[in-house]
Chains A and B, each alone.
Chain A
Amino acid sequence: MGGLNTSLLIGMQALDATQGALDATSNNIANANTPGYTREVAQFSETPETVSSGEVSGGGVSLDGLQSIRDELLNLQIQQQTSQQSSADTQSSTLQQIQSAFSTSSGDDLASMMSAFSSSLSQLSASPTSSAAQQGVLSAGQNLAGAFQSTANALTSAQTYADGQVTQTVAQINSLTSQIAQLNGQLTQTATASNGGGTIEDQRDELVQQLSALTGISVTQTNEGETITTGNGTPLVMGGQAFTLQTTTGSDGMAQVLDSNGNNVTASIQGGTLGGAIQVRDQTIPGFLTQLNTLASQFATAFNAAQAQGFDSNGNAGQDFFSVPANTADAASGITVAISNPALIAVSSDGSAGSNGNIANLSAALTNALPSGQTPASSYANLVFQVGTAESNASAQSTAIGLNLQQLTTQQGSISAVSTDEETTNLIRFQTAYEAAARIVSTIQQLNTVTLDMGTSGGY
């Protein structure tokens, strides 16, 4: 049968359990702003009642532990979306760097220089013997070649920037995977199914979340903790072991990503900063560069051919106006004006200095279709369209995923985030519970005193 001591015991258990709940509450409040922290809830359970001589007495309460409240599936979704958004953001920010080179408002872009070159030729046709007009064509030609070069430079420097991001991101990935592997090891020792992993899992989830921003990953739960691979299956973490990625300089001078066995996995990496940087470096910008180089090479060839049809101011057959590297891949960055004497412009069609007959041919090089099938202007306009679309698509994608991600984060917050109002309420609740439990103890103590005094003072 129950006695005062049983009640005292129950009171003590209540004090202990409430103490644990108060700890949890204060820990929640303390970590309300810690990234990755999931709120913990004290798990109480009844201690089994005791049956003695047919009488049943309650066994009190026991604190089973602190349960972290989290939703793993939601975390996975957030990781995937984060990878995609981070990839789109990286592409968008890299592509933003090249936009001003393609904007007509700058006044020194290719379109402006093409139009200046075209009008300088037109001016020369009105005064074919004017050395000022000839010099005007020469300078406009130099500016046009300069615009080709600076546009190509803007593209290659954005490419170099993306390349730098690849190397940097691989280093960050390696640092994160080794930390995750370490936490995996600790988790297998301490984790129990009941407490939801606790703070170590919070830390690991936070790191995995950061990792997902760097590259697309796939996470599977195993007995040895989480196994993390890239989207394509290259292992990054298995249990307590991390597999480091490496970088090496490829034949094109760009960093290539190798897995832990030394296989080149660059092309298969998708998502995250790394995937975005590789995409923009190896696909998007090279596509633009190819078009620009083709334009530079074909335009220079067409203009030189027009020069050859006429005669310069000295009556000699026109020589090359533009010098362009034989390798088309270097055309835009290497195009220069080959002549320095304005008198060498092939203005004349009949060999006499006053003729302007060949200017029509020179101007036609700007307005006729190139071997690509497009005129220089429409070919360039097409490139501007693609450059603009690439960036606006990337940022639109980022915005769309951002909305989705915000939704998911709100959902995650509704499950795992600490509400200070809730914790304040809990604080009051557990304060009352603690006071009540303490009252049990003091009441039992008084009763014990009364009981002990029964024999000596005769009681009441």
Chain B
Amino acid sequence: MRIDPNMVPNMLAAIQQSQVSLNTALQQVATGKSVNVPPDSPAAAADMVQNTIETANVDQYTQNIGSVTSLVQTADSALSSVVTSLTQAISLGTEGANGTNSAANQQAIATQVQGLLSSVVSQANLSYQGAYLFGGTASTTTPYTADSSSPTGYTYNGNNDVNSVQIGDNTSVQVNLPGSQIFSNSSANVLGSLTSLVSALQSGNTAAIGTATNAVSAALNYVSQQRVVYGNAETQLNSQETYLQQETVNLASQENSLIGVDEATAATNLSQAETDNSAALAAAAKVLPNTLLSYLAPPS
């Protein structure tokens, strides 16, 4: 049977084929990716859509945890200093109630407690990055303002709402407690009990001082209980941060297995493609110039 005398098209096809492999191998080594456009692997490209979104979300959750953690810590340390103030107030109240103080000393104690009250109010009106921490969601209004008509001496201007921040696809953390729940709760009113203690000390009524001191004590217990919310939030934030770090690693490894290349394989493929390409070129160079004419003597 006659064979196709024209070897050029087949040779060219072989050379082109080896160049395509060479380009692919080179691109994979250079980019470190096996999927650069969707047709390289439609399924991997589709999975990458979800991976991209997840990765961005996890990054953002991690950032949220950073900013929420400092918010929660600020609020917690504010409550911590409130607890300190209340403890001091209780010991001052106990001292004022023992009936051995001079009137001047009694007034001095009252002034000290008044100072503690102001400090508690300033903690209650603490703001973080321009937003009041204890005003519920009304974070732009000063939560507590002095009001002589109020029995507690202060009016609450905030609301009773709380904010939650998403720190995971299905996880969110409560980041604030409204002041109405901490400082002016009806059952254990921090500001009210301190105000009563100040007026009891000023009046010198030992029994009233005792009652007021007990009320401050109750308020202290209550505030300590409420602080647990922030403590829990911090614990939750820490554990979620650890989880998200793991998730970041998982997503990165998923991305790598979807569209990445194994460097050793890629390097092997590249050198294989180089060898194939050289072989195709060498074969063409050897075979193509060979014709019968090379062996015929030139016409004499």
Query: Given the interface contacts A360-B172, A418-B5, does A384 sit within 8 Å of B38 by beta carbon?
Result: yes
Q: Please give, as numbers and ranges, the residues of chain B lying within 8 Å of A348 by CB-CB distance.
A: 137
Q: Looking across the interface, which residue of chain A has its beta carbon closest to that of B175?
A: A126
A411 within 8 A of B: yes
B291 near A424: Cβ-Cβ < 8 Å? yes
Chain A, 358-412, CB within 8 A of any chain B CB: 359-360, 363, 367, 377-378, 380-382, 384-389, 391-392, 395, 406, 409-412
Query: Given the interface contacts A122-B64, A129-B140, A352-B138, does A357 sit within 8 Å of B161 by beta carbon?
Result: yes
Give the segment of B43-51, B88-96, B276-284 that binds chain A. B43-51
Q: Please give, as numbers and ranges, the residues of chain B lying within 8 Å of A127 by CB-CB distance.
A: 67, 129, 131
Q: Please give, as numbers and ranges, the residues of chain B lying within 8 Å of A378 by CB-CB distance.
A: 49-50
A123 near B60: Cβ-Cβ < 8 Å? yes
Query: Given the interface contacts A377-B53, A420-B291, A421-B5, does A363 sit within 8 Å of B45 by beta carbon?
Result: no
Q: Please give, as numbers and ranges, the residues of chain A lying within 8 Å of B192 by CB-CB distance.
A: none
Give the segment of B6-14, B74-82, B208-216 that binds chain A. B6-14
B296 within 8 A of A: yes
Residue of B1, B10, B47, B163 with highest tally of chain A CB at under 10 A = B163
Query: Given the interface contacts A119-B60, A126-B165, A127-B67, does A392 sit within 8 Å of B292 by beta carbon?
Result: no
Q: Looking across the interface, which residue of chain B has its beta carbon closest to that of A313?
A: B140
Cα distance, A153 to B131, chains bound together (Å): 43
B130 within 8 A of A: yes
Q: How many residues of A contact B (CB 8 A)?
A: 67
Q: Please give, as numbers and ranges, the residues of chain A lying within 8 Å of B13 by CB-CB distance.
A: 406
Cα distance, A116 to B140, chains bound together (Å): 28
Cα distance, A424 to B290, chains bound together (Å): 13
Cα distance, A389 to B38, chains bound together (Å): 8
Cα distance, A327 to B138, chains bound together (Å): 41
Other-chain contact of B38, A352, A357, A388, A414 (Cβ < 8 Å):
A388
B39 near A391: Cβ-Cβ < 8 Å? yes
Other-chain contact of A99, B5, B39, B61, B130 (Cβ < 8 Å):
B39
Q: Distance (Å) between the CB of B257 and the closest chain A CB? A: 15
Cα distance, A384 to B129, chains bound together (Å): 42
B18 within 8 A of A: no
Q: Please give, as numbers and ranges, the residues of chain B lying within 8 Å of A96 by CB-CB distance.
A: 37, 39
Q: Please give, as numbers and ranges, the residues of chain A lying within 8 Å of B63 by CB-CB distance.
A: 123, 126
A104 near B140: Cβ-Cβ < 8 Å? no
Q: Please give, as numbers and ranges, the residues of chain B lying within 8 Å of A114 by CB-CB distance.
A: 53
Q: Please give, as numbers and ranges, the residues of chain A lying within 8 Å of B38 by CB-CB distance.
A: 99, 102-103, 384-385, 387-388, 391
Other-chain contact of B130, A123, A129, A406, A415 (Cβ < 8 Å):
A129
Chain A, 333-360, CB within 8 A of any chain B CB: 348-350, 352-357, 359-360
Q: Please give, as numbers and ranges, the residues of chain B lying within 8 Å of A359 by CB-CB distance.
A: 166
Q: Distance (Å) between the CB of A29 and the closest chain B CB? A: 11
Q: Please give, as numbers and ranges, the residues of chain A lying within 8 Å of B57 by CB-CB distance.
A: 115, 118-119, 122
Cα distance, A331 to B44, chains bound together (Å): 28
B45 near A388: Cβ-Cβ < 8 Å? yes
Q: Looking across the interface, which residue of chain B has its beta carbon closest to that of A125?
A: B165
Q: Please give, as numbers and ranges, the residues of chain A lying within 8 Å of B293 by CB-CB distance.
A: 420, 424
Q: Distance (Å) between the CB of B42 and the closest chain A CB? A: 3
Chain B, 116-153, CB within 8 A of any chain A CB: 129-132, 135-140
Q: Please give, as numbers and ranges, the residues of chain A lying within 8 Å of B137 by CB-CB distance.
A: 348, 350, 352, 354-357
Q: Please give, as numbers and ranges, the residues of chain B lying within 8 Å of A411 by CB-CB distance.
A: 4
Q: Please give, as numbers and ranges, the residues of chain B lying within 8 Å of A424 by CB-CB distance.
A: 291-293, 296
A287 within 8 A of B: no
Q: Please give, as numbers and ranges, the residues of chain A lying within 8 Å of B52 by CB-CB distance.
A: 104, 111-112, 115
B197 within 8 A of A: no
Other-chain contact of B129, A118, A130, A382 (Cβ < 8 Å):
A130
Chain B, 149-208, CB within 8 A of any chain A CB: 159, 161, 163-166, 169, 172
A105 within 8 A of B: yes
Chain A, 93-111, CB within 8 A of any chain B CB: 95-96, 99-100, 102-105, 111
A356 near B159: Cβ-Cβ < 8 Å? no
Cα distance, A125 to B129, chains bound together (Å): 14
B159 near A422: Cβ-Cβ < 8 Å? no
Q: Please give, as numbers and ranges, the residues of chain B lying within 8 Å of A355 by CB-CB distance.
A: 137, 161, 163
Cα distance, A111 to B52, chains bound together (Å): 7
B45 near A103: Cβ-Cβ < 8 Å? yes
A111 near B48: Cβ-Cβ < 8 Å? yes
Q: Distance (Å) between the CB of B14 and the closest chain A CB? A: 10
Residue of A355, A360, A378 with highest tally of chain B CB at under 10 A = A355
Q: Please give, as numbers and ranges, the residues of chain A lying within 8 Å of B132 by CB-CB distance.
A: 354
B64 near A354: Cβ-Cβ < 8 Å? no
Q: Distance (Å) between the CB of A246 and the closest chain B CB? A: 35
Q: Please give, as numbers and ranges, the residues of chain A lying within 8 Å of B135 by CB-CB distance.
A: 354
Cα distance, A82 to B68, chains bound together (Å): 65
Chain B, 14-70, CB within 8 A of any chain A CB: 33, 36-43, 45-50, 52-53, 55-57, 59-61, 63-64, 67-68
B3 within 8 A of A: yes
A357 near B60: Cβ-Cβ < 8 Å? no
**19 extra interchain contacts, Cβ-Cβ under 8 A, other than A115-B56, A348-B137?**
A112-B52, A114-B53, A119-B57, A119-B59, A123-B64, A125-B64, A126-B64, A129-B131, A353-B140, A354-B140, A377-B50, A384-B38, A385-B38, A385-B46, A392-B39, A413-B4, A418-B6, A420-B291, A425-B292
B residues bordering A, Cβ < 8 Å? 1-6, 9-10, 13, 33, 36-43, 45-50, 52-53, 55-57, 59-61, 63-64, 67-68, 129-132, 135-140, 159, 161, 163-166, 169, 172, 291-293, 296
Q: What are some 14 contacts across the A-B interface (CB < 8 A)?
A: A99-B39, A102-B38, A104-B45, A122-B166, A129-B131, A352-B139, A353-B138, A354-B135, A354-B136, A384-B48, A410-B10, A412-B4, A413-B6, A419-B5
In the A-B complex, list the 3 residue pairs whose CB atoms are closest, starting with the nearest. Answer: A354-B139, A388-B38, A419-B5
